[in-house]
Amino acid sequence: MFQTAFKYYKSRNPPPSFEDVLLIGSDHPNLKPVRLGNIDGQCYAGLLSPSEWKVHELTSRPGLLVVANPFTAEAQRQWMTRSLADYPIPPNATNQSGVGQQARDAVGSWWEQLQTIPTPAERRKFAKSLRWATLGYQYDWTNKLYDEARREPFPCELGALVRYVATTLGYDRFSPEAAIVNYYPAGATLAGHTDHSEDDQTAPLFSFSFGQPAVFLIGGTSREEHPDALLLRSGDIVVMTGASRLCYHAVPRVCIDAELPEGLGCSAARWAVLDAERPGAVQWGAAVEEYMQHSRININVRQVLRENQQTLQRSGLG
């Protein structure tokens, strides 16, 4: 059932209907409003006051929380820029690490190389080469585990953001220790999977979307369950807690804004023109805007260790 839905929303010919896709923040019977607890604290720079957040739980997937974009447009630009210019550089690993690394080091980072390419068509082709970067605990994709020997400092500014969001939602003990930044050019997908490599599989998983919209599927603990489809737009946050933490999920489709039915695509199309530049605003270059016109970035943050656990415990390693 899960794979059938994945193929349906991935299809280009014929394209899928968005009739059953839920829009985060909308008034839908399957989205139950969540009341936040103490929201009298200090606001976080770049986010709306928590009193303005629209938080819902997906009733068919208990524990799946969704927050409609709480970011200012300036903050969205900030996180897009960091994801492109800062996160895909050593010591963080990427899908390109180790392949022609010496040659790349001689001419600069992926982002620096991208900006030296003369034509838009060539830049867009090269831009598709970056697909992921790992932060904090580096993830071993082959063996599907984290390695204590490859634990890098977690970015301070991202850690502060995630801790604020976690505390606001009632998860004040969450510790951001690893993140995977996924880069989705138009046409890219992410197959159905569960996240189960962390020692603590009870801690929530925080997922931030920026750029072009995408269809997100969330199913159950078996591929036999039919998933729900959500439309994630720029700035939306998904938090997998409780029973939903180990559910199958996937991204079958990244949508260029104009592909969506009227009324669904406005959020991602307008971030580039909102909040006119003003003194103190984050620098927003044409190169970032050009990249984001055809791409989506997802930052998903995990707690790897159990509470009070200092290092990873692996059998046979002491």
Whether 122 contacts 180, CB under 8 Å: no
Radius of gyration of the chain (CA): 19
Binding site for Fe cation, by residue number, is 193, 195, 249
Whether 299 contacts 208, CB under 8 Å: yes
Inter-residue contact 218 to 166 (CB < 8 Å)? no
How far apart (Å, rounded) are the C-alpha atoms in residues 183 and 176?
Answer: 20
Rounded distance between C-alpha atoms, residue 285 and residue 290, angstroms: 9
Using DSSP, state whether 156 is helix, strand or coil.
Answer: helix
- Number of H helices and E strands in the chain, helices first, is 8, 14
Phi, psi at 176, each rounded to 5°: -70, 115
Half-sphere exposure for 252 (CA within 13 Å, toward CB): 25
Q: Are 290 and 111 in contact (CB under 8 A)?
A: no
Coil, strand or helix at 227? coil
